[in-house]
Amino acid sequence: MRILDARSFSVPGFKAWGIHSGIKKNEKKDLAIIYSDREAAVAGVFTKNRVKAACVLLNSAKVKSGKGRAIIANSGCANACTGKRGLGDARATAEIAAGELGVKPDSVYVASTGVIGEFLPMPKIATGIATAVGLLSTSGWEQAAEAIMTTDIYPKLSIVQEEIGGKTVTIAGIAKGSGMIHPNLATMLCFIVTDANISSPMLKKALLASTERSFNNITVDGDTSTNDMILCMANGAAGNRRPGTASKDLRKFQACLDTVTLSLAKRVVRDGEGATKFVELVVRGAKNPVEAKRAAMAVAKSSLVKTALFGEDANWGRIMAALGNSGVEMDEARTDIYIGKAKLVEKGLGQGKAADRDASLVLKQREFQIIIDLHKGKASSTIWTCDMSYEYVKINAAYRS
């Protein structure tokens, strides 16, 4: 596998672009189009929030066909909690894009992100689509990645190549996400494209597995949004032999997809709203994998733990309290806690001021690891999280203004 520089982002058979269409008031890009020059296999993963945006409802039905040609995405307006009008606007967006691209409306997927409860400005959307279609380019991916951002600080792109089925296959993705990030996706959009020749059912299975290993293992603030989705398009332009079930080629494809999704997921956490720390949190020695992940997530999303990380305070009592409240089988008298290489807790007991000082030095770093050993079994889980700063409150207190 070759991990490529995002500046060389290009996938055979695909074009993209992003523009400012007038949805956002600050002149930043807010409309993106991704287009395949041929029919592609499509798979999707969507939010499990019971309140679903119009685009999620529309795409959940469309993706059952396993086929598609284009994605039209906007930022600045979520088109969620907008009733029949919102669903009609989502359909109209697909129809307008289809007309401009010369494809069928059913082959166009729609995505939105932004403020909930506001309607899409359809005249601006229509004009923006016409403009963006005219600018579509094989090198337009950074523009597209910028156009789907909301509170993100920077665009997120990842691209890899691998020899699969006798051909060079490219898998690449863009994503947005910064706050309202938690498993069952997050406030994130992710669009993955590949020139691999792969069946829709196999693509769907690979995407679900990859999502579980990446985007469902991150948390910024414990909130899951109404608009979250991942769409993956595979147009077959590479001309490779289709991977067979349980084949080496399928394993290689899965590894490439996992690399892209995990890279993007980590970028989302690093860009967490106001985040100053990026933390890899590992729970090991759990009774089973489910309990390992539950324990890790309980610590990773704890507001008290996250504020202690921001304050660079090695307050291991907050970690222990979160573990005890996680619902997993644990015994404080068997639990060890490390921050970096500093062993803060052994068998439930603090290891003194020297250990606290060592841990505090680790906490001053931008990135570090926390390890928790429950000594209850052999299962482990890794979650990626960040701290919670004053800036997080400022951003979300004034999100609509």
Catalytic residue set? 187
How many residues can be counted in the chain? 401
CB 179 within 8 A of CB 272: yes
- Sequence-distant (6+) residues with CB within 8 A of 208 are 43, 45
The arrangement of strands across the sheet holding 349-350 comes to 349-350, 342-346, 336-339, 367-373, 278-286, 379-386
- Cβ partners under 8 Å of residue 305, min gap 6: 299, 318, 319, 322
H or E element: which one contains 71?
Answer: strand 67-77
Q: Which residues contact 26 (CB under 8 A, 6 or more apart)?
A: none
The three-point CA angle 260-145-189 to 5° equals 65
301 token code pair: 């999303």
For 95, residues 6+ apart whose C-beta sits below 8 A from its C-beta are: 105, 108
